[in-house]
Structure 1
C-alpha cells in the first residue's frame, strides 16, 4: 500500500476497486443528497482558532465513550452490508478498531453475524439494533448481543420508513445483487473483490440466517427485511428495550431538541446526534448544525455523541468543540476497507488520529477532554459563527 495521507485518497481507490453498486451504497444519500452534502460542507465551513507559544509537547487524545476507555474520541459506526465492501469486512473492521483502541459497532444488517465477529476479536463490541415488526426477533437479537458480551446497545431510531436512495435504485442494489447486464460487466472487472467476497464467511445477512424462516433463500430474506421496518415505532418501544437490555443504551438518530430531551428522559445513557449520514430525510439539517443546542440542553443528563460527515481529525475536533463527547465514523472507514481491507481501515483511523493530534497542538490544546467552543474562530464580538456559504447559522452561544 502506497503512502495515503487523506481519506479522499482512500475513497478514490475504493471507487476503483469495488463494484459501482456497492460503492454508491456506501457513498450516497437519499433523494437529492442535500443533507449528505451539508454534513460535510457545514463542518468544513467552521474555522479553528490558531494559538501559538503554548507548550504542547505533552498531548493526550485518550478519553472515554459511554463508560468505555478509548484511545481517541472516535468509534466505528454501524454500517450495513460491510461484508460486501470486502469479504469478512465486519471482522476486519472490528480487528482494526481493537488494535486502535476504539469502540466498534456492528450493524443488525451486517454480513458477518454477531457470533462471527465475537469469535474473531478479544474486545467486546457495541451492537446496533433495529426494532422490527417481529418483536420476538428483535428480542432474540438483544439476547444474542448479551451472549456476545456487548457492553452497549445502539438503538437506531430514525429508520421507521426507509428514505429513497436514487443511486441504489438505479444500480439495482439488493441482497443478492440484481444481476443486470451492467452489474455483471462491472463485477467482471473486479475479480479480486469478487474472490474476497466469495471466500468470506457469509454472502447474506449473517444475523438473520438460522433465525428467520426461509432464510436459506436469499430472495425470501430480502422480502422479509423489506417488510420489517416499523412505522409504528414509538417511545414505548424504547421503554421495552430498556427493560430487556441491562447494559449501556445509546439512541442513534437524534436531530431535534425535543427528541433529545425525550431521549434523555427515557433512561438512555447516550444519544448520537445524527441524520443517518444523509440517507433518510433529505433536506434535514446537517448533524453539526443540530449538535450545539442539543449538547447544551441535555449534555448534563446523558452523553452526547456525534455522527455525520466525519472525514478528518479536524472534523472530530470541531464536533468536540460544539459539545460532543465523541464521534462515530462510517464512510471514512468503509473507504479504507474497500481500498485495502483491514490495512485500509487501520490507515483511515491513523489519518484521523494524526490530524486530530496535530490540529489540537496548533490550537494550543493538550488534552482532548479540554476542548471547548473557544477553540473555534468566531467573527466579530458576538457568539454567532459565520459560514463561508453566507447562509444563516444557528446561534451556538
Structure 2
C-alpha cells in the first residue's frame, strides 16, 4: 500500500509539472488575485487583490520548491517505475540515482497535513485541497497558494514592510499571480514553508475566473474618460477607484489606527493662506530646480510607494516612463513590485530614448540581517542610483486597522479578533537602528548622498546635519505608521520658526497630503527644497498607465506655474515666508 501511495504521488507530481508547463501564465505581471473558497458554497468565485508588499514571485516560488521536487520530462513516472530507498527513480526505462535531474523527492511531502487520497470525492492523490488551504487563514496559521503551490507564510507575514494584516487577510486563498520581485520567498522562507501542490482542477477554475476579472478591469479602464479630461489629482484617484478592487483601494489608502495623521496631511495645507504680490511682470516663470542633487523640471518628486502593480500590470515601469518623459525624479520603493534591476533597465532604456538621464533615488529599510542590506546596497551602487532615502520611521511594524476590518468582513464573526499581534521584523524592520548605522551604509554605498525619511523633530534634523547627511524628508509615512504623528508640512513650519538657518544648511523636503500646485509653493516658502507625492502617482498609473503619470505631472506643472504668476514671482527662490499666512491651532 505504501509503495502504491508513493507511486501515485509521483504520478501526480509529474502531471502537475506537465500542467504547469502547458498552462504557463503570460509573462506580464498582474495586480489582482483569485480565490475560490468552499466556505461560500457551489462554484462561487470571488476576486481579491493581493494587497501585500514584498511577497511572492514565480521564480522565487519555483526556486523555493526545487529543493523538494525534481522532475525531468525525459523520464516519465509510470506504472513500471518506483522510488528507490535513496530517493532515485528506477524502472523499465532505466535508473537514476539521487542528485540526478529525474529525482523525485516526495518522502517528506507525503507527510504534509491535508493531502487527500479519496478519488471518489474528486480529489487526486497527493494534492492539497482548497478546503484544507482555507482552514489556514489565521495570523498564527497562514497558508497561501501561488500558481498551484501551497506555502506557509505564518512567520513571513510578521516581517512584511506592507504590514502583517494585509498578508493575513489573504491567507487561505489562491493567489494566482505574484506581484513582487524575484527571490522574495526564496530569500525569506525556509524550504519547509513549501507545503505541497494544490489540486490542478481548482487552480484551473481559479485561473479562469482570474482571467475574467482581468478582462473586467481592462474593460473598465478602457471605458474611462480621456486622460486629458482629468483636471486634478483627486480626479485621477476617483477614476482609479471606480474600478479597482476594494482591497486595492484599501491598501493604497490605508492608515494607521483612526487615520488621524492621514487626514491631517491634507488639512495642514488648508490652514494656510497665500498673500500674493501684484504689479509684477510674470510673463515667464521658471519652476525648474534640483531634487536630491538632480535637475528637475518641477519642485516635486515621486515618493517611494510600494505595490504599483496592484493598480496596473506595468506598475513601477509606468512610473519610470512617465517620470523620464516629464523630467522629474522618481523615488523607488524597497517594496516595489518589480525587481530593481528591471526598473534600472527601464530607466536606461528611457535615458537612451529621451537623450536625458532621469533622476532616480532608492529607498532603504535597515534590516536586522545586515547581509541583506549589503546585497541591496551593492545593486543600488552598481545600478547608478543617484541617492539613498533611508526610511527611519518604520523601525517596527504598523497597525492598519482598516485592513483588519476587511479580514473580518471576509467571514469572521467579529472583525479583527482573529488577527495576531504585529511582530517586530528581523527582515524589514530593526527596532535597534541608530545613528551609528550610518557608518554601515556609507561603507557599502560610498559617495552616495543619504537623506533621512520620516523625520519630525528639530533635534533629529540637527543630528542629521551633525552626521553629515545630505538632508531630511519631513514625513509621517503617509499616516501609515504612528497615528497622531505631526504632518511633514507642520514639522517644516515648526522647524523654520525655531531655526531657519538649519533649513538653509540642509536639503529639506516634505511629503504627505499635497495635491495642488499652490500647496507646493506653501512648502517652498518655509524653505523646503521640494515636495514628494506618492499615492497620487499610484492612482494615476492605475487608471491610465504611463499616460496617467504624465498627466499627473502636467496637472501639477500647470498649477505650479499659474500659482507662481498669481503670487507675483518668476523664480522659486522669490517665494518668501511673508507671502504665506498660517492659522494658529486653537489650543495655542
How would you bin the TM-score normalised by the shorter chain?
0.7 to 0.9
Query: Counterparts of 1:244 and 1:60 in 2: how far apart (Å)?
Result: 38
* 1:243 is the counterpart of 2:446: no
* 1:349 is the counterpart of 2:588: no
- 1:134 is matched with 369
* 1:107 is the counterpart of 2:107: no
- 2:539 is matched with 335
* 1:170 is the counterpart of 2:435: no
Q: TM-score, normalised by structure 2?
A: 0.55
* 1:281 is the counterpart of 2:482: yes
Query: Counterparts of 2:394 and 2:270 in 1: how far apart (Å)?
Result: 27
Q: TM-score, normalised by structure 1?
A: 0.81
* 1:53 shift after superposition: 1.8
Superposed CA offset, 1:332-381 (max 9, x none): 111211221111111111111111111111010111132211221x3xxx
Superposed CA offset, 1:297-341 (max 9, x none): 522332111111111111111111121011110011112112211
Query: Counterparts of 2:333 and 2:489 in 1: how far apart (Å)?
Result: 23
* 1:11 is the counterpart of 2:237: yes
* 1:243 shift after superposition: 2.9
Corresponding residue SS for 1:235: coil
Aligned 1:205-224 pairs, distance under 5 A: none
- 2:246 is matched with 20
Aligned 1:295-334 pairs, distance under 5 A: 295=496, 296-334=500-538
Query: Counterparts of 1:143 and 1:5 in 2: how far apart (Å)?
Result: 41
1:276–1:308 Cα contact (<8 Å) kept: yes
Aligned 1:1-397 pairs, distance under 5 A: 1-2=226-227, 3-121=229-347, 122=351, 123=358, 125-172=360-407, 227-245=427-445, 246-295=447-496, 296-376=500-580, 378=581, 385-387=582-584, 391-392=586-587
Corresponding residue SS for 2:454: strand
2:475–2:488 Cα contact (<8 Å) kept: yes
Corresponding residue SS for 1:260: helix
2:397–2:424 Cα contact (<8 Å) kept: no
Corresponding residue SS for 1:72: coil
Cα 1:117–1:181 change in 2 (3 A) is: farther
Query: Counterparts of 1:44 and 1:351 in 2: how far apart (Å)?
Result: 19
Cα 1:242–1:76 change in 2 (3 A) is: same
Cα 1:138–1:29 change in 2 (3 A) is: same
Cα 1:291–1:278 change in 2 (3 A) is: same
2:256–2:480 Cα contact (<8 Å) kept: yes
Q: Which runs of 4+ in 1 moved over 3 A?
A: 179-182, 223-228
Larger strand share, 1 or 2: 2
Corresponding residue SS for 2:509: strand
> Bigger CA drift: 70-79 or 115-124?
115-124
Query: Counterparts of 1:165 and 1:38 in 2: how far apart (Å)?
Result: 17
Cα 1:285–1:30 change in 2 (3 A) is: same
Corresponding residue SS for 1:272: strand
Structure 2, unaligned runs of 5 or more = 1-225, 352-357, 413-422
Corresponding residue SS for 2:394: coil
> Bigger CA drift: 44-53 or 99-108?
44-53
Structure number with higher relative contact order (C-alpha < 8 Å, ≥ 6 residues apart): 1
Structure whose alpha-carbon radius of gyration is higher: 2
* 1:85 shift after superposition: 2.0
Structure 1, unaligned runs of 5 or more = 174-178, 183-222, 379-384
| Number of equivalenced pairs | 339
Corresponding residue SS for 1:144: helix
* 1:52 shift after superposition: 2.3
Give the CA RMSD over aligned residues: 2.2
Query: Counterparts of 1:228 and 1:278 in 2: how far apart (Å)?
Result: 18
Superposed CA offset, 1:132-169 (max 9, x none): 11100011111100111001011101000122111222
1:313–1:352 Cα contact (<8 Å) kept: yes
